[in-house]
């Protein structure tokens, strides 16, 4: 079934069947769990990437540098077409994912985040039974630089579905993602490099860990600043990135979600963007922050009517995002759409 990109849908709707092609035709003018999650502590820095590093990362997963692209690029049109074979060495050059850069309202974010937090607080709280797993399904795509024999070009990770299962304590889990895992997936469980049980933290939270976080926005933001000190490109950008990761990669309670939004409203440089489209083609408004170091803006996308969190994307908005000048303004670096979040009875079980 091909979803209508113009039809608003809630983020927890379950889709079945093959992954469809998503096209946005009416744009206005103008992150195996490699070494058992050792990338967790570096994910925020790595997401931004460098001219020689693939910035298209998910939590604990580094996507392969090469992926096949099927699709076409037209001026003013974002085309995300699934395809490609795992391990394929096909390349696509040029800015394979592009979008219109939304207009910024420097003063609109606090008001919008206040409305979003009120809506989030009224959502149904996720309820699971003993022995169940948290299932999260997202659709993702992205663009990065590949260098072959000293020749650099832009390539794309095509639109694909990522499925993860995690026990609430974070000790057991599974991941299936085309191009990253085999068809059967890989384990997300196990001990750390020293043989000890992993301790959840902000960069690698478990569902149970989320329940321990403060729901007072000031206390929450203070904890985020303290635990991420020295990471990323400045404390404010890292705080915004950390909150975004929690929103995309986990399933916070309504109270915690509302607190995360209110905490984000207190971060300097957070703005409102008039329009943005997620990886599933759903349109909305965005709350965003520009990383001044690389000229890339990370946008949290919300349904304009229901204020449901749809997903996140990072767009090059200023200058060139690399030393070769390949990443032009309007290039979509990463895009992720939340499709399903639910409790299920076992690994590989879908809602």
With contact defined as beta carbons under 8 Å apart, do 17 and 23 qualify? Answer: no
Run means of pLDDT, 10 residues per run, the chain, 351 residues: 39 37 36 34 36 36 28 31 36 67 96 97 91 97 88 88 96 93 90 84 94 98 96 94 97 97 98 97 98 94 97 92 80 96 96 93
Return the closest-CA partner of residue 115 out of 245, 230, 285, 345.
285
- pLDDT for 278-329, tens place per residue? 999 999 999 999 999 889 999 999 999 999 999 999 999 997 767 678 899 9
| pLDDT of res. 137 | 98
| pLDDT of res. 136 | 98
Q: What does the block give as tokens for 322?
A: 């690399």
* DSSP annotation of 285: E
- Cβ within 8 Å of residue 299, ≥6 positions away: 102, 273, 276, 286, 287, 288, 312, 313, 314, 315
Return the closest-CA partner of residue 245 out of 338, 167, 307, 125.
338
Q: What does the block give as tokens for 182?
A: 């085999």
Q: Residue ranges per domain, the chain?
A: 22-344
Measure the CA–CA gap between 258 and 252, rounded to whole angstroms.
9
With contact defined as beta carbons under 8 Å apart, do 253 and 210 qualify? Answer: yes
* DSSP annotation of 42: G
- The count of residues in the chain is 351
Which ranges constitute the DSSP H helices of the chain?
A: 43-48, 109-121, 207-210, 217-227, 235-249, 254-264
| pLDDT of res. 323 | 66
Measure the CA–CA gap between 229 and 225, rounded to whole angstroms.
6
| pLDDT of res. 264 | 98
Q: What does the block give as tokens for 200?
A: 């959840």
| pLDDT of res. 95 | 52
Helix, strand, coil share (%) of the chain residues, nearest 5: 20, 30, 50
């Amino acid at each position: 079934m091909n979803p209508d990109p113009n039809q608003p849908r809630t983020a927890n709707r379950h889709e079945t069947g093959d992954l469809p092609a998503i096209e946005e035709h009416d744009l206005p003018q103008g992150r195996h769990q490699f070494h058992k999650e050792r990338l967790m502590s570096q994910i925020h820095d790595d997401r931004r990437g460098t001219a020689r590093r693939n910035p298209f990362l998910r939590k604990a997963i580094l996507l392969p540098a090469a992926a096949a692209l099927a699709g076409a690029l037209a001026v003013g049109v974002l085309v995300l077409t699934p395809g490609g074979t795992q391990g394929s060495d096909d390349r696509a050059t040029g800015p394979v994912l592009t979008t219109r850069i939304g207009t910024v309202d420097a003063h609109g974010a606090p008001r919008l985040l206040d409305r979003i937090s009120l809506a989030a607080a009224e959502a149904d709280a996720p309820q699971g039974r003993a022995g169940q797993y948290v299932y999260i399904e997202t659709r993702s795509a992205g663009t990065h630089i590949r260098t072959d024999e000293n020749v650099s070009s832009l390539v794309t990770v095509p639109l694909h579905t990522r499925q993860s299962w995690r026990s609430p304590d974070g000790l057991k889990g599974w991941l299936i993602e085309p191009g990253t895992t085999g068809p059967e997936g890989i384990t997300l469980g196990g001990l750390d490099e020293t043989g000890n049980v992993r301790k959840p933290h902000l960069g690698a939270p478990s569902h149970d860990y989320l329940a321990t976080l403060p729901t007072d926005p000031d206390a929450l933001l203070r904890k985020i600043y303290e635990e991420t000190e020295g990471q990323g490109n400045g404390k404010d950008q890292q705080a915004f990135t950390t909150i975004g990761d929690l929103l995309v990669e986990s399933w916070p309670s309504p109270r915690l979600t509302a607190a995360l939004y209110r905490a984000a409203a207190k971060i300097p440089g957070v703005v409102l963007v008039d329009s943005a489209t997620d990886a599933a083609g759903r349109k909305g408004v965005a709350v965003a922050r520009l990383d001044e170091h690389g000229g890339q803006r990370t946008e949290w996308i919300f349904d304009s009517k229901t204020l449901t969190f749809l997903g996140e994307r990072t767009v090059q908005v200023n200058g060139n995002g690399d030393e070769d000048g390949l990443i032009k303004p309007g290039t979509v670096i990463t895009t992720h759409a939340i499709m399903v979040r639910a409790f299920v009875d076992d690994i590989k079980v879908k809602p």
